[in-house]
Chain A
Amino acid sequence: EAQVTQNPRYLITVTGKKLTVTCSQNMNHEYMSWYRQDPGLGLRQIYYSMNVEVTDKGDVPEGYKVSRKEKRNFPLILESPSPNQTSLYFCASGKTTQYFGPGTRLLVL
């Protein structure tokens, strides 16, 4: 079954405590992407990756890092989370049709 998985699904953390949200896909897609979704703003692209070791900034990259060491995985790293990064995060795989993971709800206190 074609799938994009994200972990954790829910996370409460404190300001400054580094965290990683994992994303994995089993469709052999070259293109993967991270979005955040906030009320009234829709989905905004954080980073995307065109292939292994190839990543680029989206519209809201500040405060985030990504890596793409394997085709199937595309983790999102928040080195020093702040309350304004409280949001719903989606990982997506595929370019023409994007398949989304179930989302990660993050609360930064």
Chain B
Amino acid sequence: RKEVEQDPGPFNVPEGATVAFNCTYSNSASQSFFWYRQDCRKEPKLLMSVYSSGNEDGRFTAQLNRASQYISLLIRDSKLSDSATYLCVVSPTGGFKTIFGAGTRLFVKA
């Protein structure tokens, strides 16, 4: 089993739709969680960190469920510019390793 798993998609949604991605992780001791965005084989960029209490940044909401060991990303009112690959990232407790999921591809169509 992979340490971090994501549905690869692709998710094809119309503009204005709400779309949600999930990511599961296997190490219950994991401490830090993030969502990164990657455009067309360019470098990944931090989208948002994920906190236990959940957090929101504009149209984006991230949540963490430690009991079920998954994190989620919700995108509301999708824009064409949201088309990208979304990477789930997990860091173990006190560790320096970083583990990336393989990514979920999103296409937003007009």
**Chain A residues within CB distance 8 Å of chain B:** 31, 33, 35, 37, 40-45, 48, 50, 56, 58-59, 88, 90, 95-98, 100-103
- Is B44 in contact with A31, judged by CB distance below 8 angstroms? no
Q: Which residue of A lies closest to B45 (CB)?
A: A100
Number of A-B contacts (CB under 8 A): 49
- Is B99 in contact with A45, judged by CB distance below 8 angstroms? yes
CA distance A50 to B103 in the complex (A): 26
- Is A100 in contact with B44, judged by CB distance below 8 angstroms? yes
Any chain A CB within 8 A of the CB of B46?
yes
Number of interface residues of B (CB under 8 A): 19
Other-chain residue from B41, B97, B98 in contact with A98 (beta carbon distance below 8 A):
B98
Sample 29 A-B pairs with CB under 8 A, ordered by A number: A31-B96, A35-B100, A37-B41, A41-B102, A42-B102, A42-B103, A43-B44, A45-B97, A45-B98, A45-B99, A45-B100, A48-B96, A48-B98, A59-B99, A88-B41, A90-B43, A90-B44, A95-B96, A96-B32, A97-B49, A98-B36, A98-B44, A100-B43, A100-B44, A100-B45, A101-B43, A102-B43, A103-B42, A103-B43
